Amino acid sequence: MSNSTPTAHVPPEGSPQSPVGGAYKAVGSTLTVVVVGGLVWGLTLTVVKAVAIFTG
């Protein structure tokens, strides 16, 4: 293995073009709620419908 493994020069706070401050956290949280909520909604509807149809 080479002793001079190249590494990228990235500041500890990450890319300056993409900060992870307030706006990032707001979008990320909203997206998480939408994604999880959407999945739960779809799953619940499908289960309820399937059971209802099977049990007449």
**Residues within the interface to another protein (CB under 8 A):** 1-2, 5-18, 20, 24, 27-28, 30-32, 34-36, 38-39, 41-43, 45-47, 49-54, 56
Compute the distance between CA of residue 38 and CA of residue 44 in angstroms, rounded to an integer: 10
Q: Which is nearer to another protein, 6 or 22 (CB)?
A: 6
- Note whether 54 and 48 are within 8 A (CB): no
In the complex, minimum distance from the CB of residue 9 to another protein, in angstroms, rounded to a whole number: 6
Tokens in use for 6? Answer: 């190249």
Strand, coil or helix: 46 = helix
Q: Which is nearer to another protein, 12 or 22 (CB)?
A: 12
